[in-house]
Amino acid sequence: MRSAASVICSLGHVATTAELRLHGVSPGAVRGALADGAVTRAMRGVYVCAHADPDQRTATAARCRITCLSALRRAGVWAGLDRSLHLQLPPHAHGDRPSSDRNGRPIHYHWALPRFPDPRERSWLVSPMEAVYQAIRCLDEENAIACLESAVHERLLTVDEVRRVCARAPARLERGIRELEFTAGSGMETIVRRRLRHAGYTVVAQVQVAGVGDEDLLVEDCVALETDGEKWHGPDRFHADRDRDLKTEGLGRRALRLTHDQVMYDWETTFLSIKRVVDDAKREQARRFGRVILRADDPL
Ligand SMILES: [Zn+2]
Ligand SMILES: [Zn+2]
């Protein structure tokens, strides 16, 4: 028979009495695990092992489930910039609940019955579809669309599941949902692709280039944009990234690499730089193919 602690671990480090029973753990085995310190009682009828993280402990103590942006971030899905803890509880749950966690991080409560229950949900975590359903209500349009594409890329949802969530999306997301494209390698790539297209540029995503591999975004067929997602930072990527840039330039295309902060906190400057590089590259391309028509005020 598996120990109480190992069953709790397999359920994500938090389990209810009912879940433990279902997995064949007797009340005596739970008492034994409590006595030897392998397991602690978070509240009546809920047990945690030593691996439970602060969010799980806060959610459990508040008799809630982790949902929305907080659930997505745990799965590596794009969740925008809001770092508060999002918890879900039934609409008529009563009792006092804290407005922030132990570290002073605000808690955002969702008073709602789950609309998409499925076997992947836990006593402490909503189902993946429920998390996305809530998140696209908490996020602005561009982050909501990035979240939907990222949920597929990170394999949290299938395209079909995204379509089911979208069928119940708020009206303000209609246009963005029509523009969904499941090519993006990261939420940031979705955001850059959409911003540039809305600014009138032709942008193709995930172009296969011989000798280079996939390019994130190709702007006006002459500038390759790579968006460094948060998880790609680090010295192990440094050489590979420089190698790629060199090969791209070797093909006669300009290569630009954008960081998270350049896109999310300094877009105005970043956009002007992209615009300048694209304009120059188009001019150069036109010159090479002899199609350039110079106006009197164009610099030579
Ligand atoms: Zn554990
Ligand atoms: Zn939320």
- One domain for residues 31 and 76: no
Domain for residue 121, yes or no? yes
Q: Is the pLDDT of residue 144 over 70?
A: yes
Which listed ligand is nearest to 48 at the C-alpha?
1
- One domain for residues 9 and 100: no
Return the structure tokens found at 46: 């809920």
Return the structure tokens found at 208: 């296969």
Domain for residue 293, yes or no? no
Within the chain, residue ranges assigned H as helices are 4-10, 17-22, 27-35, 54-61, 68-74, 128-138, 141-153, 159-166, 174-178, 187-198, 235-250, 260-264, 267-288
Domain for residue 300, yes or no? no
- One domain for residues 266 and 208: yes
Rounded mean pLDDT of the chain? 89
- One domain for residues 8 and 108: no
Q: How far is the CA of 245 from the centre of ligand 2 (A)?
A: 38
Closest C-alpha among 253, 192, 190, 191 to residue 223: 253
- One domain for residues 200 and 272: yes
Q: How far is the CA of 205 from the centre of ligand 1 (A)?
A: 40
- One domain for residues 161 and 259: no
**pLDDT for 290:** 66
Which listed ligand is nearest to 56 at the C-alpha?
1
CA 162, 190, 153, 121 dihedral sign is: negative
From residue 142, give the alpha-carbon distance in Å to each of 11, 168, 172, 270. Answer: 33, 17, 11, 17
Q: How far is the CA of 200 from the centre of ligand 1 (A)?
A: 50
Average pLDDT of 256-268? 95
**pLDDT for 212:** 66
pLDDT in tens, 173-217: 999 999 999 888 899 999 999 999 999 999 998 777 776 677 789
Q: How far is the CA of 55 from the centre of ligand 1 (A)?
A: 14
pLDDT in tens, 82-106: 999 999 999 999 888 999 999 999 9
Most confident option among 36-45, 74-83, 218-227, 230-239: 74-83
**pLDDT for 229:** 59
**pLDDT for 133:** 98
**pLDDT for 254:** 85
From residue 52, give the alpha-carbon distance in Å to each of 11, 21, 69, 132, 187. Answer: 11, 20, 19, 23, 28
Instruction: Select from 120, 155, 178 the last residue of a domain.
Output: 178
**The domain that contains 224 carries what CATH number?**
3.40.960.10
Q: Which domain holds residue 4?
A: 1-52
pLDDT in tens, 31-74: 999 999 989 998 889 999 999 999 999 999 999 999 999 999 99
Choice between 220 and 216, residue whose per-residue pLDDT is larger: 220
**pLDDT for 208:** 74
Of 70-84, 156-170, 202-216, 273-287, the one with minimum mean pLDDT is 202-216
What's the number of domains the chain is made of?
A: 3
Return the structure tokens found at 264: 């999310």
Choice between 94 and 246, residue whose per-residue pLDDT is larger: 94
